[in-house]
Amino acid sequence: MEVCGTHTVAVFRHGIRGLLPESIRLLSGPGCPVCVTSIKDVDTAVALSKVSGVVLVTFGDMMRVPGSSRSLYEAKAEGADVRVVYSPLDALKIASENKDRRVVFFATGFETTSPLVAATLFEAEKEGIENFYIYSVHKLVPPALKALLDSPEVNVDGFILPGHVSTIIGSRPYEFIGKDHGIPSVITGFDAKDILEGILMLLKQLDAGMSDVQIQYRKVVREEGNPRAVATINECFKPSEVYWRGIGTIPESGLILKDKYRKRDITEIVNVDVPEGSEPKGCSCGEVLRGVKLPTECALFAKKCTPETPVGACMVSTEGSCAAYYRYRSG
C-alpha cells in the first residue's frame, strides 16, 4: 500500500502499475489530507467563512471539496471572503493587513504541514498579530496506519511510507508496523526510480522474512526526522481523538492547540455548531481510503462522479485516488 496521495499520483504518472507483474498489487491508502477531512469539518469551515468579519484562508486543495450543502468555492461565490494561499505565512500577512477582521486559517494536512502552521503561530505571537486564528483539522499518519492494521478487512503485505511526512517525523514512529504486525515498510521518494527501488526493498524484506522500517529516500529522510520541526509541533499542539472520513474516529490521531495557544483556536471564539454531515449516497470514498475497494469498483466512478462534478473528496483532490484513476484510466 502506498500511503501518501503524492505517491498515488506518481505511481500513475510514471506508469509503474504497467511495469509490475500481476503478483504485485498497489493499493492507495489514506494519505490524502483533503480526502480524509470530514464533511463536518468542511461544513464548519464554510460556516466560519459566513461569519461577519471573518476572512477564511485555505490551501487551494480544499476549495472544491463538497460539504453537506456547499463547498468553500461556492461559499465564496455567495459572497464569503475566502482566500487561497500558498503558505500559512501568507495567511498571517493577510491578518497583519486586516486588523479589523478575524483571519482564520483552515489548518489541514499531515506532519509535513502542521509544523509550518505551528511556526506561523509563533510568528503571530512574536509580531503581536492578535487577529490571526486557526481551525485545526491536522492529522497524524502513524495512528491512522495503526487503525488500518487493527481492522480485519485490510490485507496489506508491505507499506510504501510517505517521503515528506517522514522528512519531519523520521522512521521511528513507524516501528510498530514491523514489531506488532510483522509487516515490512519502506520510506520512499517520489520519482520513478525511487518508487521502483522502494518496491524492490519491500520485496527483498518479504523474501528474507524481515519486517523493518527502511529508508529509500535518504536524500531528505533521517532516522530522527527533523527534531526542530517535531519540537515546534509539540510546543503548539497535542494529539487528540479525531474523525477521519472513510475510516472513523481514531484515538490520538489529530492535533488540537495546547492551552497556551487556545486563544488562537477560532472555535473558542466563534460558535459555529454544524450538524453531523452525512456521506453522499453511493460514494465509496471510505472503502477506497481503507484500500478495500479500488476506485473503479465504485458504482459512481466516471459516471455520476468525475473531476468536473465530484461526489466524493477522493475525486476532488488531484492527489485523491479516484481523481488519479480517472485521469490515467485507459479507454
Partner 1 sequence: MCLAIPSKVIKIENTIATVDVYGARRDVSLLLMPEEVTTGDYVLVHAGFAIQKVDKEAANEALSLIKELLEKQEQEEEFY
| Number of other residues whose CB lies within 10 A of the CB of residue 216 | 23
Q: Which of residues 281-310 bind partner 1 (CB under 8 A)?
A: none
Contact 293, 312 (CB under 8 A): no
310-329 footprint of partner 1 as x/- string (CB under 8 A): -------x-x----------
List the one residue out of 151, 171, 152, 153 whose CA is nearest residue 161: 171
Rounded Cα–Cα distance for residues 38 and 248 (Å) = 9
Q: Is 23 helix (H, G, I), strand (E, B) or coil?
A: coil
Nearer to partner 1, 82 or 178 (CB): 82
Told to check if 61 binds partner 1 by CB under 8 A, we report yes
Told to check if 219 binds partner 1 by CB under 8 A, we report yes
Told to check if 5 binds partner 1 by CB under 8 A, we report yes
Distance between alpha carbon 311 and the CA centroid of its chain, in Å? 18
| Residues that contact partner 1, how many (by CB under 8 A) | 44
Nearer to partner 1, 27 or 221 (CB): 221
Q: Which of 78, 127, 180, 191 binds partner 1 (CB under 8 A)?
A: 191
Quick one: which segment of 103-111, 148-156, 201-209, 299-307 binds partner 1 (CB under 8 A)? 103-111
How near is the Cβ of 271 to partner 1 at its closest, in Å?
A: 29
Rounded Cα–Cα distance for residues 264 and 142 (Å) = 26
Rounded Cα–Cα distance for residues 45 and 50 (Å) = 9
Told to check if 49 binds partner 1 by CB under 8 A, we report no
- The residues near 29 (Cβ < 8 Å, ≥ 6 apart) are 1, 2, 3, 4, 145, 148, 159, 289, 291
Which three three-digit cell numbers place residue 25? 498489487
Q: Which of 44, 49, 71, 112 binds partner 1 (CB under 8 A)?
A: 112
Told to check if 167 binds partner 1 by CB under 8 A, we report yes
Residues forming the site for partner 1 (CB under 8 A)? 4-6, 13, 31-34, 59, 61, 86-90, 108-110, 112-113, 115-116, 119, 122-123, 162-165, 167-168, 189, 191-192, 219-221, 226-229, 232, 317, 319
